Amino acid sequence: MTIKSIQTLVSDAMSEIKTISADEAYKLVEDNNCNLIDIREINELNKTGSVENSNHIPRGMLEIFLDPNSVFFQNGKLDKDKEMVLFCAGGVRSALAVKSLKDMGYDKISHIDGGFGSIANSKFKIV
């Protein structure tokens, strides 16, 4: 059995998913056309701050919370008709997460190139 490296997994995912810039994501948020989802761990948010108007769903809970029957949808926190835009610290976890959600059947899904690092250097407000 051959075990794939993280580089191979990310490379494979990147060939199948949509990657957008922080500026493109900002425009989607500004136009109310997406759900901005921060998949970093809570300790990362505590250390560096949160992105205004983002939903925090830790990577380990993503598929559970993005099940259409989850409380996130039932309580109106997420709109399944809008694009799901994911980000992590640097773009690796979000690339893998987008691939997983694509496998679940999501088609309006993307991740932000450079993750929180690029977001922090854009128009987004960190709170």
List strand residue ranges (DSSP E) for the chain, in order. 18-20, 34-38, 55-56, 83-87, 109-112
User: To which residue do tokens 């309580």 refer?
Assistant: 75
Tokens for 35, please give them. Answer: 């759900």
Q: Could you give the CA distance from residue 120 to residue 22 in angstroms, rounded to a whole number? A: 9
User: To which residue do tokens 């854009």 refer?
Assistant: 122
pLDDT in tens, the chain (127 residues): 899 999 999 999 999 999 999 999 999 999 999 999 999 999 999 999 999 999 999 999 999 999 988 887 878 788 889 999 999 999 999 999 999 999 999 999 999 999 999 999 999 999 9
pTM: 0.93
Domain ranges of the chain: 6-120
Q: Could you give the CA distance from residue 121 to residue 1 in angstroms, rounded to a whole number? A: 42
CATH number of 6-120: 3.40.250.10
